[in-house]
Each structure stands twice: as C-alpha cells, then as structure tokens.
Amino acid sequence: MGETEDERTARASQLFENFVQASTCKGTLQAFSILCRQLELDPLDHSSFYGSLKAAVSSWKVKALWTKLDKRAQQKIYSQNKACQGTRCLIIGGGPCGLRTAIELALLGCKVVVIEKRDTFSRNNVLHLWPYTIHDLRALGAKKFFGKFCAGSIDHISIRQLQLMLLKVSLILGVEVHVKVEFVNLVEPPEEQTDDGPGWRAEIRPSSHPLSDFGFDVVIGADGRRSTLDGFSRKEFRGKLAIAITANFVNRNTTAEAKVEEISGVAFIFNQKFFLELKEETRIDLENIVYYKDNTHYFVMTAKKQSLLDKGVIISDYIETERLLSADNVNQEALLSYAREAADFGTNYELPSLDYAINHYGQPDVAMFDFTCMYASENAALIREKHGHQLLVALVGDSLLEPFWPMGTGCARGFLAAFDAAWMVRGWAQGKNPLEVLAERESIYRLLPQTTPENISKNFEQYSIDPATRYPNLNSSCVRPHQVRHLFIGGQQNSGLVEKAGPTRRSVNLFRKESEVRPSRLLTWCQKQTQGYRGVDVTNLTSSWRSGLALCAVIHRQRPELIDFDSLNEEDVARNNQLAFDVAEREFGIQPVTTGKEMAANAEPDKLLMVLYLSKFFEAFRKSSLNNICKESDENGEENPSKTNHRLLNLPQPRKRTPRDEKKLEDDSVNKRRRKGNNYLSELSCHSAPPAGEDGELRENKVRSMATQLLAKFENSSTAKQSEDPLSPSSSPLSPSTPPPSSEEDDEEKEEEELNPPPHHSDSLTSSEETPPPTPSVCSDCCDAELRNERLQNKAENQKKSVSGTEIERSEKDHVK
C-alpha cells in the first residue's frame, strides 16, 4: 500500500524541519538535497521551485514562514517574480551581504548562482544590527530558523548564525549555492559569435565544475575587502593608529553566564573611571570595549600600542604598521592572556570560565588587526562589453565599503548596498540605458558612507529595494550619465551614443524591453492613438489592454481598412486580441508575445510583455510615417519646393493642421533630449567642423543663409533710421511670412505633435478644417544661397549711395538759403 495523504504530509513536514534545524553549512545543503529528492522537487527550476515547495510542505508549523515570504514576494517592485525574468546572475561570496543580495535578485525573477570557496560557516564574530536590519530579517522569517533571534533588547547576531539563516531562505527561493568553488577571473565571450553563442563566463577552481559553462549577464562581488573583480579602484581613509583585538570564548549557556550583563559599547571619554581602574589593576590600556553574548562570549576592544608593548604582546616597536603587527612580531600567548584579562575585568569577573572558542584553523579564536586604514571602492558598478555582450559588474558588502566596527555599520550598510544593487539590476534588466543605470547607482552610492540609524527612513514597513523608500534625502541624479562614461568599458564611450547602444546582447532574456522608448512616453503615445474610440480608456500598460479593443484601436488609427472596429464586441476578449495579433503579424511583421486565449484567461496582462509588444507598434508606425514621406515624393515625381527647403534647412513650417506623414520625425528621442540640453555644442560643431558630403553642404548653406538674413536685417534697420523714406526691398529677409530658424521650442512642439495625433471621430476620419497653402520659403533653392548673398549686398550698397545722395542735396539747399 502507498502512503496516505496524512503520512505524506507528515514526512514532508519532518524533512523540512530537518532542513530548518540544520546547524552547519554542510548539514543545511545535505538536508536540502534530501528534501528535494524525497519530495521530487527540481531546485534548478528557479522560477517555480518556491511554489512547488510551498505546495509540498503545508503543515501548520511552516505556514507562518510561507506567510512572511509571500508578503515580501508580493511587493509590486518584484512584478510577481517577473521584473528580471531571464536575467542570469553570478554572486561571488556566500557571506551575509552576498546571500542577502541573492534573495532580492531571486524575488525579482533572476536565475541566481552563489559560489563560496569555503564549505563551513565558522566566523564567531558578532554583528551589531540596526533597527531596520532586525525588522528586515524578521520579515524573512529569522525567528523560524533561529528562535533566539534578537529576543528582548538584543540587537546583535553572530556572523555564522546569520549566514545559516540567509542560506536557508536563499535555497527556499530557488537560489543555487555551490561551496568549495573559487572564482578566478572573468572569461570574455568568444570573438566569433552566433545567435546563441556563449556570453560572459567565469574561470573557477576546480575547472571541471559544471559552473564553468554557466553564462551570466550580471556578476556581483561579495567576497570581502580583497575583492577579486577587476576594474574597481579603492580609496584609502587613514586615521590615527588604532589596534583592535577580537576574542571569542565558549558560551556554555549556564545560569551564571546568563546573569552577566553585556557591554553594548563603552568608550574612555564616557567612563574614564572604568578604564583608569583597568589600567591601574592590569596595566591594560584600552580606548573602548564591547561585549556581546551570543553563540560565544564575544569581546572586541581597541588597545593602545604602548600597553601592548608593556605587556609583551608586541615584541618590537616599528613605525610601519605592517611590521608592527606581523605574525613574527606578536607573542601569541601574551595576546591570549591580554584579551582574557580584559574580558575578566570588563565583566567584573562574573563569567565562571573563559575558555577560547576554536576557529576554522583549529586555533584559539583571538585576533589582532589594524583598522587605521579603511578602504572604499571609488565606484559601485561598471559595465563591460565584448563582442556584442554586455556585462553588469557590481560590488556589495566589505568589497564596496569597509565597515567601522565601533559603530556597527558592517551589516547595516551591507544590506543597504545589497538593496541598491538589486534596484540597479532591475533597471538594467528592464532596458534602461547603460549610462543612466551607472549614473543612478553612483548617485545612490554617495549616500552610503553617510548613513546612520538616525538619518535613514524610520518607516521600516515600507522598505523595499527602491532607494526612495530608505533614503529621505535621495537625489538619484546628482551624478550625470556623461560623468560615468569611463565605467562603460569596451562600449561606445567616445561617441556619446551609448544611450543608443546598438544590437548588443545583454542576456538571453526574451522578455526584456528591446525598444528605447520609455514606458511613460509609450503610455502617452498609446493614449493619443486610442483617444475617441468606443470602449477604450487607456490608463496603464496592463489592464487597459485586456479587452483587445485598445490594440485594435491602435491598428485602426493607422490602417482603418484592416479592422472593422465598430463590429467588435468588448466581451469577446479572446477574439479581439487574436484579431489584433494576427493583423499585426501579417501586416506589420510584429510577432505576438502571447495568444488571445491567454489574454482572456489572465486578469491582467504582464507589464513587461505589453511594454515590449506595444513598443514595436510605436517603432513600426514611426518608421512607416517616414516611409510615407519618401513615397509621396516618388509618386508625384517632384516635390513642393517649400517642403524641400524646410526639410533641408531644418526650418519649421507654419503652425497648421497637417497630416502626420508630412512631418520630419526623429528616430531617436534620446538625441532630441541631448540636443535640447547641449544646443550650443551642435551650433559650434556646425561652424567649426568641416562639411562632410551632402550633409556638410546643407549645414554650410543653412549657416550662410542665416548669416545673410541677419546681415540684411541689420543694414535694413540702420538705413530706416537715417531716412524717413526708406528704400528697402519690398520683402524683408525676416518678414512675418518667413519662419524663423528652428529653436528648442520648435523641437518640443514637433515631439508633442508626434505624440498627439488628431483625435478619432467615428462619423468622419477626415478633418473639417481646410489645410492652408504652404507659405513661401526663405529661398526657392538652397543652392542659390551665394547668388542671393551677392544681391543683398548690392542692394545694401545702393541704399547707402541713395542715402548719401539725399544728404548732399539737403546740404546744398541749406547753403543756398
């Protein structure tokens, strides 16, 4: 007989409980492997693993954990686990910050792989936790894995216990974790590429490991201050000599030990009596001391150099810090005695026994180190591009910013950096342009060293990877894109057109937005395209498109003959969508991203899919408008000279209602925005750069024409002041009938008109207003600019002669009188 339902549930519950209670790294991975094998779960299927595990383990004891993780996963920022679908990430280092980053990336829908060169979590040192960090860990179910987590007023946890907790959450969310795997270097994509050619990979030890063939789009360094990723320069913060000592003693959890009070942080200036008595009684001279009671009795203190010399801990005095604290200049026995004496006195001799805990080297867990110098990376991220593949590289944790242990900043700032890195990956995966991604990340990184428990947001419940929820005074654009071009390595740095980054392959993500149009601009365009259509009210890029009427309206606006819009039934969702998909594929070559039935089955379409699909309409219809201009010119055989000159000279036509296909459209909206902010640069280039082919001649003619106009106007006005009866030409070069040169406002108007087509009217598709005839242009042919220049100069000379002649006649009349 097979298992009953109750037996199956009980067995699954016990297997999961074994996994939760595992107390070592190896034990956790082994229990997880057994759990997956017994319940027939595939841990490599990262997108559905959490849901499968939750369905298989449904006992009352674990439901509280599922509730907490579900609440986190349902934040809008994750887009139902699809915000970064298809993005592949490699995280180097399985410390607290690396695992916390992995959890956020997994919630975003990334395929995440973590590699750690050790297979044990043996760091006994205790981390101080800021209030937001405690709240964050509780929201991940910390107390379900470690019942004593921050009980009462405790605000600290051992690194080992924190790693175990985060490792278990990572595995539950579908993160791959590989131990005893060491990262060596990045492997560039091969030069000869095919459509499915390999991208960026990692050289690892052992080289035979299956991860050698793992291709990724994002790599994050979380392997401590000695980060192995290239491209990150470090800046040094040097202060007065400071020597720290850490010591871990065995905690037997006896009643006597439980009664001993912790020392949350005592500095000399706040309790001088304590430190003076310590020095007088033991000759130990400290600047501060901290005692936390966790899995071990953890002490950390700052000792003065002279005291260490007097007690024989340091054998010889050297100026160089490296020589001073080198292993051969430290008496290990004296160091053990020094730390034990300080711990005894600090706890008022109440700890019954102070036996050293053993570290992963099999030695007593005591260490002395220098934190005179602290290091921070000069930049938080960079992008590498090689053979059409882009790679986002970032740092988190101590690799990014070394902590200042007396303030307990390591874990808190490390988690903030993890959230910031996840936010950057989200923007990257959704198609944001590379320089903007880097500029925003560097802007946020500038805030990190300044953060304290007091100046970050106090509304912990609203915290997410969005920096705006955590930093009250956030300025995410203080670093501009042009300031981070040096961080785009191997890309189009010098051209200034990285925003247009061509056919690079960031990943194998088929759902990533390939169009450069922004969602906000795309929504505005869609609203204008569907304005006036029955039953269509576009307010977003998801639910407004479910009925299929909006898609049909977009197509009907451009090609009314393709769809009989009035015959559509709003209730027939599947038919409407399938009709739009079929027509778009047949007529415009736009491949569907789903089916009509799937649209009808879902309460709300996926936003990323809709942005991708609608942006293809945006691009296709803009291109068709440009083609119509050329087609009209070819069919007529000749073109209106007024239109020709306006396009060649880049001068705007008078304001009037004209069809969209008569406007000159810019293919790249980014260039417009850049031109708006740097108009003077383009004018300078027109004057200084030599003409190149036909475009150069057009620019030269335009400048010459504008200069001639201004010269003629100036001479005209000066002549009018000298004579009451001016002999000016009948038509001024800058008369009201002649449009002025193109300006920034005109560019904005053109872009606005591009996004605002005439509204749809069900009774008539043509406008009732008559289009006025085109106004004559400045000159009938731009090639006659030089002749026109000569004529204007001759007229000016004649005017001067006539004025001088009039003055002579007047002077003669005065003489006769």
Q: Which residues lie closer than 8 Å to 2 by C-beta, 6 or more apart?
A: none
Place of tokens 């180190």: 369
What is the spatial distance between Cα 504 and Cα 388, in angstroms, rounded to a whole number?
4
What is the spatial distance between Cα 88 and Cα 726, in angstroms, rounded to a whole number?
76
Residue 347, CA atoms < 13 Å, CB-side half-sphere: 26
Q: Which CATH number fits domain 240-371: 3.30.9, 3.50.50, 1.10.3210, 3.30.70?
A: 3.30.9
pLDDT of residue 761: 46
Note the pLDDT tens digit of each residue in 193-202.
Answer: 655 667 899 9
pLDDT of residue 9: 87
pLDDT category at 209 given cuts 50, 70, 90 is very high
Contact 491, 503 (CB under 8 A): no
3-state SS assignment for residue 467: helix
Boundaries of every domain in the chain: 1-71, 81-147+158-230+378-512, 240-371, 519-628, 650-764+774-798
pLDDT category at 661 given cuts 50, 70, 90 is very low
Place of tokens 């304001």: 655
Question: For the residues of 649-676, what is the DSSP string, one character each?
Answer: HTPPPPS----GGGSPPPS-HHHHHHHH
What is the spatial distance between Cα 370 and Cα 377, in angstroms, rounded to a whole number?
19
pLDDT above 50 for 465:
yes
pLDDT of residue 752: 45
pLDDT of residue 124: 85
Specify the range with the lowest mean pLDDT, choosing from 20-29, 478-487, 587-596: 587-596
pLDDT above 90 for 422:
yes
16: part of which helix (H) or strand (E)? helix 5-21
Contact 744, 676 (CB under 8 A): yes
Q: Which amino acid is at 333?
A: E
Q: What percentage of residues in the chain have a pLDDT greater than 70?
A: 71
Other beta carbons within 10 angstroms of residue 616's beta carbon come to 19
What is the spatial distance between Cα 575 and Cα 561, in angstroms, rounded to a whole number?
18
pLDDT above 80 for 491:
no
Average pLDDT along the chain: 78
3-state SS assignment for residue 799: helix
pLDDT above 80 for 686:
no
Contact 421, 427 (CB under 8 A): no
Q: Which residues lie closer than 8 Å to 813 by C-beta, 6 or more apart?
A: none
pLDDT of residue 396: 97
pLDDT above 80 for 552:
yes
Domain 519-628 has CATH 1.10.418.10: yes
As a three-state string, the secondary structure of 162-221 is HHHHHHHHHHHCCCEEEECCEEEEEECCCCCCCCCCCCEEEEEECCCCHHHHCCECEEEE
Q: Which residue has the higher pLDDT, 174 or 602?
A: 174
Note the pLDDT tens digit of each residue in 88-105.
Answer: 999 999 999 999 999 999
pLDDT of residue 79: 94
Taking CB atoms within 8 Å and a gap of at least 24, the contacts of 470-478 are 470/132, 470/416, 470/419, 471/444, 471/447, 473/447, 474/444, 474/447, 475/443, 476/440, 476/443, 476/444, 477/439, 477/440, 477/443, 478/443, 478/446
pLDDT of residue 705: 54
Give alpha helix (H) positions in 637-773: 641-649, 669-677, 679-688, 693-722, 744-755
pLDDT of residue 403: 84
pLDDT of residue 796: 60
Q: Averaging pLDDT over each range in 57-71, 766-780, 796-810, which range is the top one?
A: 57-71
Contact 524, 543 (CB under 8 A): no
pLDDT of residue 515: 38
pLDDT category at 414 given cuts 50, 70, 90 is very high
Q: Which residue has the higher pLDDT, 317 or 606?
A: 317
Of the candidates 183, 217, 196, 160, the residue with the CA atom closest to the CA atom of residue 25 = 160
Angle between helices 410-429 and 96-107 (to 10 degrees): 30
> In degrees, to the nearest 5, what angle opens at C-alpha 571 toward C-alphas 566 and 575?
75
Q: Which residues lie closer than 8 Å to 128 by C-beta, 6 or more apart?
A: 155, 156, 292, 408, 411
pLDDT of residue 197: 67
Fold of 81-147+158-230+378-512: FAD/NAD(P)-binding domain (3.50.50)
What is the arithmetic mean of pLDDT over 375-393?
Answer: 93
Question: For the residues of 362-417, what is the DSSP string, one character each?
Answer: SSBSEEEEE-SEEEEES-SEEEEEETTEEEEEEE-GGGTB---GGGT-HHHHHHHH
pLDDT of residue 506: 52
pLDDT of residue 387: 86
pLDDT of residue 798: 62
What is the spatial distance between Cα 105 and Cα 88, in angstroms, rounded to a whole number?
10
pLDDT of residue 808: 45
What is the spatial distance between Cα 566 and Cα 547, in angstroms, rounded to a whole number?
15
Q: What percentage of residues in the chain have a pLDDT greater than 90?
A: 48
Of the candidates 102, 107, 103, the residue with the CA atom closest to the CA atom of residue 85 = 107
What is the arithmetic mean of pLDDT over 239-249?
Answer: 90
Q: Which residue has the higher pLDDT, 448 or 124?
A: 448
Specify the range with the lowest mean pLDDT, choosing from 355-364, 377-386, 620-629, 671-680: 671-680
pLDDT above 70 for 131:
yes
pLDDT of residue 643: 39
Specify the range with the lowest mean pLDDT, choosing from 4-8, 278-282, 432-436, 663-667: 663-667
pLDDT category at 175 given cuts 50, 70, 90 is very high
pLDDT category at 667 given cuts 50, 70, 90 is very low
What is the arithmetic mean of pLDDT over 20-25?
Answer: 95
3-state SS assignment for residue 59: coil
Residue 238 main-chain phi, psi, to 5 deg: -110, 135
The β-bridge relationship of strands 373-377 and 381-386 is: unpaired
What is the arithmetic mean of pLDDT over 170-179?
Answer: 97
Q: Which residue has the higher pLDDT, 39 or 404?
A: 39
pTM for this entry: 0.62
pLDDT of residue 278: 93
pLDDT above 80 for 180:
yes
List, in sequence order, every residue forming a beta bridge with 374; answer none if it has no partner.
Answer: 237
- Residue 699 Cα distances to 95, 352, 413, 519, 527, angstroms: 59, 89, 53, 34, 37
What is the spatial distance between Cα 305 and Cα 234, in angstroms, rounded to a whole number?
27
Chain-centroid distance, C-alpha 748: 28
Contact 383, 392 (CB under 8 A): yes
What is the spatial distance between Cα 784 and Cα 773, in angstroms, rounded to a whole number?
24
pLDDT category at 282 given cuts 50, 70, 90 is very high
Judging by beta carbons within 10 Å of its beta carbon (0-12, 13-18, 19+), is residue 76 exposed, middle or buried?
exposed
